Amino acid sequence: MLKLPIYLDNNATTAVDPAVLEAMLPYFNVHFGNAASRSHSFGWYAEEAVEYAREQVAKLIGAETKEIIFTSGATESDNLAIKGVFETYSGKGNHIITCITEHKAVLDTCHYLEKLGAEVTYLPVQSNGLINIDELESAIKTNTILISVMYANNETGVLQPIKQISAIAKRHNVLFFTDATQAVGKVPVDVQDDGIDILALSAHKMYGPKAVGALYVRRKNPRVKLSAQIHGGGHEKGMRSGTLNIPGIVALGKACEICRLQMQFDFLRVKTLRDKLEYALLGLEETFLNGDPEQRLPHVSNISFKYVEGDGLLMALSKTIAVSSGSACTSASIEPSYVLKAMGVDDDLAHSTIRFGLGKFTTEEEIDYAIEQVTGTVNKLRALNPLWITHKESIA
């Protein structure tokens, strides 16, 4: 039986997998020790759980266990990566290359570093959301120390050419960092095959709890060093001090294990549902898909409904379908999506955009319902729009 409202905003956050919840619960009131307590069994048990989780995270992304640093989430990981490189490698240079469609956690960090003397190049994107590889290589200077390009965009799902980017970075002896928050657990990510030096991920995008994440930091070829941004106690190899969130870390590890084992199945099932949704909605007149139709995540669909105000559509659907107009981190803004504007989408069309984020708990019945509700609501709202009426008369 269909339960309303249905949830199609999995890019913003995901429900915690029941198996993940079961794994983390004992660490609140049974195995509640501090992993830094080395003099009794409560601390030993907590430390053992942390190291096992570190191994689970590492296996998912093809890393070594010692290369995983636990954080409070992707935003902290982004800050530690970018600020850490800027401070540690200041003797080599101060130039950072990133992309204009990055998550705000990356963009705002770069803006902050510019105030401290960093030189930042913000690469544009093409109409499909992909960067131009030649422009990236041309932007590299003798003082370039970091390239930061996200693995998959949080609004459009577009997958950047990570292997090509890393090859360019390696050729010029520049470190490569990627915010892979949206990609890890959804598509195969391997830091060795992909040539990634630093990578950020978050539990709550992959069916784990909020406020826990990790940062992969390469230990050889090259060995990456990062200056700490949080001090006090020297936890996490001195890169991130603070009492470890044992329940959250255990949950992140379990979420990574489940993703590693189920990813292939989930990919195919969710992509099939996403394609069904798109086929129906793109059949409506004056409806457009944003982002490269091939190089993207399997569960994301960013669609513009011309002659429909996006906020009005969201409001009309809010009691039955949970969707968004873009990034959850900028959802309070009345400005059109900066990601879509960077792709050349005009303001009116950007304002008419809905992001559908499916997940592994999404059912075909829910997709059928979403198709029916969105189609009916779009037609109803257009019927009330004088511009739509004029448009129809002009082509009659």
Q: Which fold has domain 18-258?
A: Aspartate Aminotransferase; domain 2 (3.40.640)
Query: Rounded to an integer, what distance in angstroms lies between the CA atom of residue 211 and that of residue 143?
Result: 35
Residues forming the active site: 329
Q: For the chain, 396 residues long, give each residue's pLDDT as a single digit of tens.
A: 899 999 999 999 999 999 999 999 999 999 999 999 999 999 999 999 999 999 999 999 999 999 999 999 999 999 999 999 999 999 999 999 999 999 999 999 999 999 999 999 999 999 999 999 999 999 999 999 999 999 999 999 999 999 999 999 999 999 999 999 999 999 999 999 999 999 999 999 999 999 999 999 999 999 999 999 999 999 999 999 999 999 999 999 999 999 999 999 999 999 999 999 999 999 999 999 999 999 999 999 999 999 999 999 999 999 999 999 865 555 556 789 999 999 999 999 999 999 999 999 999 999 999 999 999 999 999 999 999 989 999 987
Q: Which residue, 108, 90, 206, 184, is CA-closest to 148?
A: 108
pTM for this model (two decimals): 0.97
Query: Rounded to an integer, what distance in angstroms lies between the CA atom of residue 297 and that of residue 189?
Result: 12
| Residue with the two structure tokens 């640093």 | 69
Examine domains 6-13+262-395 and 18-258 and report if their fold is the same: no
In the sheet that holds 95-99, the strands lie side by side as: 68-71, 213-217, 198-202, 175-179, 144-148, 95-99, 119-123
Domain ranges of the chain: 6-13+262-395, 18-258
Query: Rounded to an integer, what distance in angstroms lies between the CA atom of residue 201 and that of residue 185?
Result: 10
With the C-alpha atoms ordered 367, 368, 370, 371, is the resulting torsion angle positive or negative? positive
**What's 6-13+262-395's CATH class?**
alpha beta
Query: Rounded to an integer, what distance in angstroms lies between the CA atom of residue 340 and that of residue 100?
Result: 11
Query: Rounded to an integer, what distance in angstroms lies between the CA atom of residue 329 and that of residue 314?
Result: 17
DSSP state of 325: S
